[in-house]
Amino acid sequence: MTTVRALAVVAMVGGLAWAQAGDKSTPATSNVPGAQYPRIQPDLGVTFRVNAPLAQKVQVKPGGDGLGKAPFDMVRDYQGVWTVTTPPAAPGFHYYFLLVDGFQCNDPGSQSYFGWNTETSGVEVPDRVDFYEAKEVPHGEVRARWYWSRTTGQWRRAQVYTPADYDTSGAKRYPVLYLQHGSGENETSWVKQGRVSFILDNLIAAKRAAPMIVVMENGMVAVKPGAAPVEAAGAGRGNSRNGAFEEVVMNDLIPMIDSTYRTVANREQRAIAGLSMGAGQAMQIGLSHLDKFAYIGSFSGGVRGTDPKTAYNGVFADAAAFQKKVKLLWLGAGIAEAASHQANQAWHETLEKAGIQNVFFECPFAHEWQTWRYDLQDFAPRLFR
């Protein structure tokens, strides 16, 4: 018996689109509608293809560890179409750029994602889990909320996730998680790259997490009027592009959220977390304002200090007082981000020995969004219980 394999016929889209007979690869879900490349291979290699007949050299430059470290050289065919397939990639979302004759730009086949301080390309590589996919459950909304910041003298935009029952639950009030992105990203990153709304929709529908509001703001850009910021991303204090971020959160954002949405406006119903730079901001802001927050999460964050008596301005020095106030201190890191994993694990153990209960969570991935999706999936169910 011979097997007759149907020829896969794929519509032409944007000049880039065709697939070979018997090709079992599929367009990445992170593509713009109709774009056939990048494609995901059965072994999770990613095939990139662009049409650049006049270019001398075209490369794919990964913007995260899961796709590889060094640029991949693309190979030109006789018509000027350039192609490369990577080795099997890690599951999850990976930033990348094209280098076209050395010029760093985006792939026309990819949607844009804000990262690396600009719009980037990204490719979604499937995992064997579906906790961050849109499923047949009630869906919450993500609301773009403009508000005036007295601190920075500007209209700012927060992204606010409201759970599925928010508009139909009458006077019911909700706890709030403030959730921050990493360096170079913005308030859309947890929505687009992080899939925050689908993760919460699924957890809430399964009754694994309390219905909650999630607030995301831009932790990269927060300067006072007339200030001359230097080009550095700090933890939200001092003379950097985001030096006024802590003040924005405490003096503008939280009051606006509590007066605009049906929140429970007290510390026991308020959490703060973030990833990477945002983990630093969550620890800085949360630990400095234990009158406002009872839950703090650090996703792939740096560890500031080694001695619990003095680290973080001594907030851990009186373990009993800390324990009384903080319902959850949560540290997470990916195993493939070895230095962060090691530092956070050590800090977790140091804190435990000092009588500070805390959760240490690990997952297999790198310093990328797949780690932070898994983090949120573990962190959110522990809140507001």
HSE-up (13 A, CA, CB side) for residue 91: 16
- Residue 11 makes contact with a copy of itself by CB under 8 A: yes
Q: Which is nearer to a copy of itself, 226 or 353 (CB)?
A: 226
Are the beta carbons of 137 and 205 closer than 8 angstroms? yes
What are φ and ψ of residue 340, in 5° steps?
Answer: -65, -40
Tell which one of 19, 100, 209, 326 touches a copy of itself (CB under 8 A): 100
Contact stretch for a copy of itself (CB under 8 A) within 37-45, 173-181, 218-226, 350-358: 218-226
Binding mask 170-189 for a copy of itself (x = CB under 8 A): ----------------x---
In the set 19, 28, 40, 50, which binds a copy of itself (CB under 8 A)?
Answer: 50
Q: Which residues contact 106 (CB under 8 A, 6 or more apart)?
A: 97, 98, 112, 119, 120, 121
144 binds a copy of itself (CB under 8 A): yes
Among 43, 77, 167, 268, binds a copy of itself (CB under 8 A): 167
Distance CA 232, CA 244 (A): 13
In 10 A of CB 230, how many CB atoms? 11
Max Cα separation, the chain? Answer: 78
| Candidates 11-19, 264-272, 279-287, 376-384; binding stretch for a copy of itself (CB under 8 A) | 11-19
Q: Given phi > 0 = left and psi -120 to 50 = alpha, else beta, which region is 367? A: beta
Exactly one of 191, 196, 294, 351 binds a copy of itself (CB under 8 A); that residue is 191
Residue 204 binds a copy of itself (CB under 8 A): no
Q: Which of 338, 337, 326, 332 is nearest to 375 (CA)?
A: 332
Instruction: Give yes or no for residue 13 binding a copy of itself (CB under 8 A).
Output: yes
Q: Is 8 in the site for a copy of itself (CB under 8 A)?
A: no
User: Binding of a copy of itself at residue 54 (CB under 8 A)?
Assistant: yes
Torsion of CA 296, 189, 332, 315, to 10 degrees: -30
Specify the residue for token string 């910041």. 149
Q: Segment near a copy of itself (CB under 8 A), from 46-54, 269-277, 360-368, 369-377?
A: 46-54
C-alpha–C-alpha distance, residues 121 and 66, integer Å: 14
Residue 257 binds a copy of itself, judged by CB under 8 A: no
Q: Phi-psi bin for 335: left (phi > 0), alpha (psi -120 to 50), beta?
A: alpha
Nearer to a copy of itself, 45 or 229 (CB): 229
Does residue 104 bind a copy of itself (CB under 8 A)? yes
The verdict on 101 binding a copy of itself (CB under 8 A) reads yes
Interface residues with a copy of itself (CB under 8 A) are 11-14, 32-35, 50, 52-56, 58, 98, 100-106, 108-112, 114, 117-119, 134, 136, 139, 141-148, 155, 160, 167, 186, 191, 197, 218, 220-221, 228-231, 241, 260-261
